[in-house]
Structure 1
Amino acid sequence: MTRDHRLFSRPISVADLPARGRGVTVEASPEERARIAREFGLVAIDALSGAYHVTPTARGARLKGKVAARIRQTCVVSLEPFDSEFDEEVDLAFAAALEPGEGGVMQGDTLSISPDEEDPPEPLEGGMIDLGSVTLEFLALGLDPYPRKPGVELSVEFSPDRVEEEKAPSPFAVLAGLGRKPAAKP
């Protein structure tokens, strides 16, 4: 979670959690949404929230929930702004300290991670989980890097055949005839 904590920070202490866990909802203010929209290259964020259930575990905590957002972004085809909504499921484990090789197998200096295994836990820093940072991370993961407004199509079809047809003559094509000697006249 490398985003700037000043954008949207909602830390909670794992030590203060009841044994059954606690439901926590975080919501970004209009000022925070404006800063986040600028940071993420969006036209606007109309709503951003995270609804979580945080449960203590033997080594840290488990966080489950959902990030919901209503955003306005720019279509990469038409360059028109459009609104979209999405929900991203969140299921993370947090641990105070990772054991060597946890979440994979150490082979010398290399950590091998199996795609079939559960992800390694996130580091629990100072006994705190920043729900704002988690929300921003999952917002970033849920954004389409090439957003397209519904119903907008490319006006030109691209295919290898079409590229060949449109290929301009090489600037060196005129040089091809220079190396040839003119035919001898009888």
Structure 2
Amino acid sequence: MTRDQAVGPLTRSIRVDRMARAQGDFIVTATPEECAALAADFGIPAIRDLVGRFRVGGTLENLKVTGTVEAVVTQICTVSLDPFEASVSEPVEVTFTDGEIPTGHDAEDVEVPDPIVNGRVDFGTLTAEFLAMGLDPYPRKPGVTFDLAEPDPEDAPLAGLRALQGDRAPQGNKD
């Protein structure tokens, strides 16, 4: 896979048959341009210092990848709407296979491994995916709290109708 064929802004595709010679350790360090493109994809202001550290074990047909993805991200506080920086550290544990992947009811009973595509594993895509999983979906700036205001009975939605009604008591049927 060439850079032009990349599926996302961060790609580090490595042939599985070459992984054994690399002693099983892989580090992905995103460039500032890749971080900016990922931030745009994720809809957040910024990403910096994005690094994925991976260790590969198992067989070439059934790879086990463990490690961590770390970055500093700028997100928007859902309470104050202020931008703020936060650290992300997401553990990685993924199995890749070039064998048959269970489908249907078989897939419900087991953890389905990711496929090895064209004899390659893309550690850049893996880094981006785990960074996305580590993002807080409702980010809150440290120290910011959400205080729910007590409703004022005078401002209640039906307060105007109650004022028009006055103190009249409801009248029942007179039989």
Match of 2:88 in 1: 86
Match of 1:15 in 2: 17
Q: CA deviation at 1:43?
A: 1.0
Change (3 A) 1:147 1:100: closer
Match of 1:113 in 2: 108
Change (3 A) 1:91 1:154: same
Q: Runs of at least 4 residues of structure 1 off by over 3 A?
A: 109-112, 162-167, 170-174
Alpha-carbon RMSD across the aligned residues, in angstroms, is 3.1
Is the Cα–Cα contact under 8 Å of residues 49 and 72 in structure 2 kept in the other structure?
yes
Q: Which amino acid aligns with 1:168?
A: P
Unpaired stretches in structure 2, ≥5 consecutive residues: 1-5
Q: Normalized against structure 1, the TM-score is what?
A: 0.74
Distance 1:31 1:93 in 2: 29
Change (3 A) 1:13 1:20: closer
With 135-144 and 56-65 compared, the bigger mean Cα shift is at 56-65
Q: CA deviation at 1:73?
A: 0.7
Structure that is richer in helix per residue: 2
Match of 2:142 in 1: 150
Q: Normalized against structure 2, the TM-score is what?
A: 0.79
* 1:133 corresponds to 2:120: no
Q: CA deviation at 1:21?
A: 4.0
Change (3 A) 1:97 1:153: same
Counterparts of 1:1-186 in structure 2, within 5 Å, are 5-18=7-20, 21-57=23-59, 59-100=61-102, 110-111=105-106, 113-114=108-109, 119-157=111-149, 162=150, 165=153, 167-169=156-158
Unpaired stretches in structure 1, ≥5 consecutive residues: 102-108
Q: CA deviation at 1:52?
A: 0.6
Q: Per the alignment, in what secondary structure is the counterpart of residue 20 of structure 2?
A: coil
Distance 2:130 2:38 in 1: 13
Aligned residue-pair number: 163
Is the Cα–Cα contact under 8 Å of residues 54 and 61 in structure 1 kept in the other structure?
yes
Distance 2:117 2:101 in 1: 15
